[in-house]
Amino acid sequence: MAAHRPHTWRRPMKIRHALTAAIAALATVAATPALAQLEIKFGHVGEPNSLFAVSAEEFARRANAKLGSKARVVVFGSSQLGGDKELLQKLKLGTVDIALPSTVMSSESDIFGVFEMPYLVKDRAHMGRIERELFWSKMAPEAEKKGLKILAVWENGYRHITNSKRPINTPADLQGIKLRVPEGKWRVKMFQAYGANPSPMKFSEVFTALQTGVMDGQENPFTQIYSAKFQEVQKYLSLTGHVYTPAYATVGAKKWATLPDDVRRVLEDTAKETQAFVYAAAEKDDTDLLGKLKAAGLQVNTPNKDAFIAASKPVYDEFAQEVPGSKDIVERAIALGK
């Protein structure tokens, strides 16, 4: 009679089943990609070391320190994601998360033309009063009607004229000058009133236009002039300071609504907190960059600002007639500077 064989096969079978299940589970995990970190794309038109670039990078550094693994802000400068108008369109479509428009905002909503009025903003303290008392209540809601939400007011700066023809001392000196301006109709109207021949153009195209003579000149803050190397293709810098341009840390309302609450809170709080850094950097640029532009060979002159202010009246009159409610805002903004 055969000896009784113990049922030792059952335990190995259980072990085999357990191993098979474990291997299958591991295979499933390996085949499933890790959840990608939420990327917040921040696009702007500034060149490296411009105020736009420095501002966006400082914002990203601060925001990313707070966001940890929840999300990451990635900055794309130098018009990599498009020019100003394209960036606004991409905000609305949700393919870009944050942008830094300036003058171009007046092409979205005419009320932003307030900041296109010549010699309106006296200094940054005045701008702060305008922001607190007028901007958030009267202007930001108009952007939201266009699908854009402004998180914070930063800066582009005081604008000055460069050209290759002659020093600009009075508006008469602009007669016949082919001048590149940003994509906003009130800047065009201003320089038409001064006698220039203004043409809107993307910032990324300006250097070549100046180099080839398609344009004689342009107008921008020192930070944009220097970082874009316009000093290499221009001869004269006239310190007109004709417009102070804010810049707006802006998101698309639809995409913004889909972000987690805690991510939105960090981004909005950090955008507002970064303003003080932006203003300090801009103030330093006012002196440092003027010295560098002079050293680069630009001939600098101080124009007759009274002549420019006198020539600006038709622009104010047309703006008041064309844009409902603007006259009151402009008058209140001027009063805040007294």
CATH code where residue 305 lies:
3.40.190.170
Q: Can you give the pLDDT at residue 26?
A: 47
Residue 27 maps to a domain: no
Tokens of 15: 């072990």
How many domains in the chain? 1
Residue 69 lies in a domain: yes
Counting Cα atoms < 13 Å in the Cβ hemisphere of 322 gives 16
Average pLDDT over every residue of 6-23: 47
User: pLDDT by residue (tens digit) across 306-321?
Assistant: 999 999 999 999 999 9
Distance CA 311, CA 327 (A): 18
Question: Is position 16 within any domain?
Answer: no
The model's pLDDT over 41-85, given as tens digits with 9 standing for 90+, comes to 999 999 999 999 999 999 999 999 999 999 999 999 999 999 999
SS (H, E, C) the chain: CCCCCCCCCHHHHHHHHHHHHHHHHHHHHHHCCCCCCEEEEEECCCCCCCHHHHHHHHHHHHHHHHHCCCEEEEEECCCCCCCHHHHHHHHHHCCCCEECCCCCHHHHCHHHHHHHCCCCCCCHHHHHHHHHHHHHHHHHHHHHCCCEEEEEEEEEEECEEEECCCCCCCHHHHCCCEEEECCCHHHHHHHHHCCCEEEECCHHHHHHHHHHCCCCEEEECHHHHHHCCHHHCCCEEECCCCCEEEEEEEEEHHHHHHCCHHHHHHHHHHHHHCHHHHHHHHHHHHHHHHHHHHHCCCEEECCCHHHHHHHCHHHHHHHHHHCCCHHHHHHHHHHCCC
Residue range 100-120, pLDDT digits in tens: 999 999 999 999 999 999 999
pLDDT at 302: 98
Is 19 part of any domain? no
CB distance 261 to 114 below 8 Å: no
Q: What are phi and psi for residue 75, nearest 5 degrees?
A: -95, 135
Per-residue pLDDT of 243-297, as tens digits, reads 999 999 999 999 999 999 999 999 999 999 999 999 999 999 999 999 999 999 9
- How many beta carbons lie within 10 A of that of residue 67, not counting itself? 20
Q: Retrieve residue 273's tokens.
A: 């907190």
pTM of this structure: 0.88
State residue 274 phi and psi, 5-degree precision: -75, -15
Q: Is residue 272 part of a domain?
A: yes
Which residues, in sequence order, are CB contacts of 312 under 8 Å at separation 6+? Answer: 117, 118, 119, 190, 193
Q: Is residue 222 part of a domain?
A: yes
Residue 100 CA, chain-centre distance (Å), reads 2
Assigned token pair, 85:
């108008």
Share of the chain above pLDDT 70, in %: 90
In a domain, 31, yes or no: no
pLDDT at 17 over 90: no
pLDDT attached to residue 35: 55
% of the chain beyond a pLDDT of 90: 89
Q: Is the pLDDT of residue 13 over 60?
A: no
158: domain range?
Answer: 38-335
Inside any domain, residue 144: yes
Q: Which pLDDT score, from 0 to 100, does residue 36 have? A: 75
> Is the separation of the CB atoms in 159 and 221 below 8 Å?
yes
